[in-house]
């Protein structure tokens, strides 16, 4: 099954509708998160996800983000293959989030 992708605006609307049921999973490197991060996001670098997978709830909705949406797409597909039911890729990543929703956000 293909990974569902949502735009930053669609993710923001989803968070507004169901704030408790959506977890933003940031899979960028630590240096990237130091520069900019979304509030209340869960940070697990892509390379460390396999060892932390057991800490995540397969029934939870996860929106996976990276810088531009490529790594997060791979992680979302991996999570789906591991039995996670509702995994969404943030299309365009945090770069598109800054460009379309928060122009004052730091960019790199």
Cα dihedral sign, 38-50-74-19: negative
Q: Which of the following is catalytic: 66, 76, 87, 98?
A: 66
Residue 92 backbone zone (phi > 0: left; psi -120 to 50: alpha; other: beta) = left
Beta-bridged to residue 65, according to DSSP, are 26
Q: In terms of DSSP bridges, do strands 4-6 and 61-65 run parallel, antiparallel, or are they unpaired?
A: unpaired
Active site residue 2: no
**Tokens describing residue 61:** 């909705």
Catalytic residues: 66
């Amino acid at each position: 099954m293909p990974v569902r992708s949502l735009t930053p605006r669609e993710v923001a609307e989803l968070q507004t509708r169901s704030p408790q049921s959506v977890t933003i999973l940031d899979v960028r490197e630590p240096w990237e998160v130091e520069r900019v991060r979304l509030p209340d996001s869960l940070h697990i670098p892509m390379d460390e996800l396999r060892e932390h997978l057991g800490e995540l709830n397969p029934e939870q909705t996860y929106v996976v983000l990276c810088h531009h949406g490529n790594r997060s797409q791979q992680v979302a597909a991996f999570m789906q293959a591991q039995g996670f039911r509702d995994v969404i890729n943030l299309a365009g990543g945090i770069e598109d989030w800054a460009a379309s929703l928060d122009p004052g956000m730091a960019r790199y």
